[in-house]
């Protein structure tokens, strides 16, 4: 964040956190109802990952060890009190299916050295003991900024499988060369060339660095992209499409709102020679078109035996945004602020024009947590249809078919009087999610409806929507376009309706699934 440190952001967002949440100012009726409904029920997600208490922000790329994923995230145990102890540590959770997680406590502590708290970075497994900490040691490269002044990269290591970490001294392994933004190291192993490669966020550039031992780094080049805000949390990986084509993917989290673009995960497909990334296209694509899928990371997909799938990766994002990070009823009502997206599986697909893109679908492990299925079959709608179903957390899938209409979709988390709801569907040439008719974290009223391209000539669209207590994630058709959005409906708003605009549509194979996650 230019002009403000993450530490001061944590403090500012925590101060007065109780009662700080506000709805969109453009709909006063919603505000009155929301205030009256405060804490009448829980806002903790039922099947999405949430921090046990206090504060969570950036996910850190999970690593696979002994049949499970070790997932780290930025955690501030002092969020509610703020003060000089504010700032983040790395907390650990483990999972075998990426749906059910077990909390393991703080792994990389904060404020144990003069360098202060620990920000984003990445963990790698040093199988060949290149760093000298032992074969199989888990090495974390992480940004720290002593005194909130100079960002540099530091090393922590673990010899117990990533459960606890020790600092490798207090000097940076990659000092700051004299720039303001110099953070979020993402490290991968370049097996072909026998070295480590780091991608680092440097304002409008992703810098590339080489190392033989993870302790000494050399700058070799960079990729520059302006016009989409400060680049953060870079990502770099190689993936194979179903047609056998391999592509390198460079991703960044970026705030493109000022340019009329998403504020999530931008990416380019292309080639990478170990030092230079060459994109297929100059402009990025976006892995999510909603408002709240930030600081996302992708990571390896492995089966129960540890076999790597070269044609897929997993991804997880923080369902919040720095524009309104402290604006949530969850702290007052449930004692926490921090929810992640569902883990999604991403694949590389070739479009009809020969270009390649990433497509997303919810992780398959959700299927093992289904506790109830409601099959509504085929439903014909002309105008609106209120369904005989209520719920605050579920998945809905449907295929909408039509001959002629302007728009169609669903009203989610609908109030009993119909005045509050979240709309999701298609209209004209775009798919959308609109949170402006319920309690929204965005008090400005500007960031309520997210949009992505849609071709109405097909006369059909498949929607898969994950609804939880404070979130909506809509996957359109094959998942090339996804909308992840934070919302705070009144816990009493549990209704569901279908609608069409200027025509009739059939909502085919409409199925609702509920989940139970221990």
Positions annotated as catalytic residues are 58
**What does the block give as tokens for 16?**
């007065």
Residue 425 to residue 501: CA distance in whole angstroms: 11
> Do residues 170 and 146 lie in contact, with contact meaning Cβ atoms separated by under 8 Å?
no
Which residue do the tokens 């700051």 mark?
176
Query: Exposed (0-12), middle (13-18) or buried (19+): which is 389, by Cβ within 10 Å?
Result: middle
Three-class SS state of 518: coil
> Do residues 49 and 340 lie in contact, with contact meaning Cβ atoms separated by under 8 Å?
yes
Residue 419 to residue 7: CA distance in whole angstroms: 39
Instruction: Check residue 45 and give left, alpha or beta (phi > 0: left; psi -120 to 50: alpha).
Output: beta
The helix (H) or strand (E) run that includes residue 7 is helix 6-14
> Do residues 51 and 69 lie in contact, with contact meaning Cβ atoms separated by under 8 Å?
no
The helix (H) or strand (E) run that includes residue 85 is none
Three-state SS string across 289-335, please?
Answer: CCCCCEEEEEEEEECCCCCEEEEEEEEEEECCCHHHCCCCCHHHHHC
Give strand pairing partners of 449.
434
Which residue do the tokens 């590389």 mark?
348
> Do residues 75 and 55 lie in contact, with contact meaning Cβ atoms separated by under 8 Å?
yes
Starting at the edge strand found earlier in the chain, the sheet holding 183-190 runs 183-190, 195-202, 205-211, 218-224
Reference 402, options 512, 510, 500, 511; nearest CA is 500
CA 55 to chain centre: 16
Residue 298 to residue 60: CA distance in whole angstroms: 9
Residue 235 to residue 205: CA distance in whole angstroms: 13
Three-class SS state of 447: coil
Q: Could you tell me whether strands 183-190 and 54-65 are parallel, antiparallel, or unpaired per DSSP bridges?
A: unpaired
> Do residues 323 and 260 lie in contact, with contact meaning Cβ atoms separated by under 8 Å?
no
Residue 215 to residue 197: CA distance in whole angstroms: 12
> Do residues 226 and 206 lie in contact, with contact meaning Cβ atoms separated by under 8 Å?
no
Residue 44 to residue 46: CA distance in whole angstroms: 6
Residue 496 to residue 498: CA distance in whole angstroms: 7
């Amino acid at each position: 964040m230019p002009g403000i440190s993450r530490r001061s952001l944590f403090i500012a967002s925590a101060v007065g956190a109780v009662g700080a949440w506000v709805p969109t100012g453009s709909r006063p009726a919603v505000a009155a109802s929301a205030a009256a409904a405060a804490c009448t029920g829980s806002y903790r997600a039922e099947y999405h990952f949430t921090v046990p208490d206090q504060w969570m922000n950036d996910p850190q790329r999970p690593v696979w060890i002994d049949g499970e994923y070790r997932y780290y995230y930025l955690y501030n145990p002092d969020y509610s009190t703020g003060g000089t102890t504010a700032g983040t540590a790395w907390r650990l959770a483990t999972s075998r299916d990426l749906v059910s997680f077990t909390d393991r406590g703080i792994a990389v502590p904060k404020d144990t050295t003069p360098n202060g708290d620990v920000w984003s970075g990445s963990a790698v497994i040093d199988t060949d003991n290149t760093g000298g900490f032992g074969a199989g040691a888990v090495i974390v490269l992480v940004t720290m900024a002593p005194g909130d002044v100079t960002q540099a990269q530091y090393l922590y290591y673990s010899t117990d499988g990533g459960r606890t970490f020790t600092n490798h001294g207090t000097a940076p392994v990659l000092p700051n060369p004299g720039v303001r933004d110099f953070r979020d190291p993402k490290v991968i192993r370049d097996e072909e060339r026998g070295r480590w490669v780091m991608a680092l966020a440097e304002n409008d550039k992703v810098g590339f660095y080489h190392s033989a031992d993870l302790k000494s780094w050399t700058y070799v080049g960079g990729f520059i992209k302006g016009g989409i805000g400060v680049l953060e949390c870079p990502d770099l990986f190689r993936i194979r499409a179903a047609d056998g084509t391999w592509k390198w993917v460079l991703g960044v989290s970026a705030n493109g709102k000022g340019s009329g673009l998403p504020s999530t995960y931008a990416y380019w497909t292309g080639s990478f020679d170990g030092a230079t990334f060459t994109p297929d296209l100059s402009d990025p694509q976006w892995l999510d078109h909603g408002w709240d899928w930030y600081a996302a990371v992708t990571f390896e997909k492995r089966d129960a035996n540890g076999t790597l799938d070269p044609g897929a990766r997993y991804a997880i994002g923080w369902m919040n945004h720095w524009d309104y990070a402290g604006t949530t009823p969850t702290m007052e009502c449930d004692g926490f602020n921090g929810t992640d997206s569902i883990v999604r599986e991403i694949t590389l697909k070739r479009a009809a024009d020969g270009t390649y893109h990433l497509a997303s679908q919810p992780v398959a492990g959700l299927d093992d947590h289904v506790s109830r299925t409601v099959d509504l079959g085929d439903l014909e709608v002309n105008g609106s249809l209120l369904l005989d179903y209520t719920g605050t957390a579920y998945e809905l899938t449907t295929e909408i078919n039509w001959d002629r209409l302007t728009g169609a979709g669903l009203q989610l988390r609908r109030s009993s009087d119909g005045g509050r709801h979240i709309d999701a569907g298609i209209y004209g040439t775009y798919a959308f999610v609109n949170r402006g008719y319920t309690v929204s974290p965005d008090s400005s009223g500007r960031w309520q409806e997210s949009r992505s391209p849609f071709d109405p000539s097909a006369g059909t669209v498949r929607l898969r929507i994950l609804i939880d207590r404070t979130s909506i994630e809509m996957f359109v058709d094959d998942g090339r376009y996804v909308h992840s959005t934070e919302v705070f409906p009144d816990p009493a708003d549990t209704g569901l309706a279908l609608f069409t605009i200027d025509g009739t549509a059939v909502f085919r194979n409409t199925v609702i699934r509920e989940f139970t996650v221990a």
